[in-house]
Structure 1
Amino acid sequence: MYRRLDEWAWGLSRLRYALLTGVVAAVGSIAVSVAFGSPSYVFALGIGIALAVLNYLSDPNRTED
């Protein structure tokens, strides 16, 4: 299962990979903050946007041909 998910993520375009990273970070941040009892939606939105932008700019899936 992990290998399939990994191959799928590596096959995503630059924009889709960045958006996936941002959404996963935001949802994870919300889940953790809810578990601790003080949900911070502004922080989750901020971290999601920041990681999406940074992943798009750095393009971590780029391979040197």
Structure 2
Amino acid sequence: MRLGLLLPEGGSAHLPALRALCQRELGWDDARWDSEARAYLTLWRTHYALPEQPRLPALMRW
């Protein structure tokens, strides 16, 4: 989804609204939604999210 490229956290704040739409329009049950949402978030984190910043050792902190 293009929203995932433009919104913070891949648009995860909008997942509840998208859930209602997908379940109503596509006939998805809770299990299907959970599976699709998990797959989307995994894809987003793997390919589009910024990598986690490494933590600095305590001696290097200001």
What TM-score does the superposition give when structure 1 sets the normalisation length?
Answer: 0.44
Higher RCO, 1 vs 2 (CA within 8 Å, ≥6 residues apart): 1
TM-score, normalised to structure 2's length?
A: 0.46
Q: Which of the pair is proportionally richer in helix?
A: 1
Kindly name which structure, 1 or 2, has the bigger radius of gyration based on alpha carbons.
2
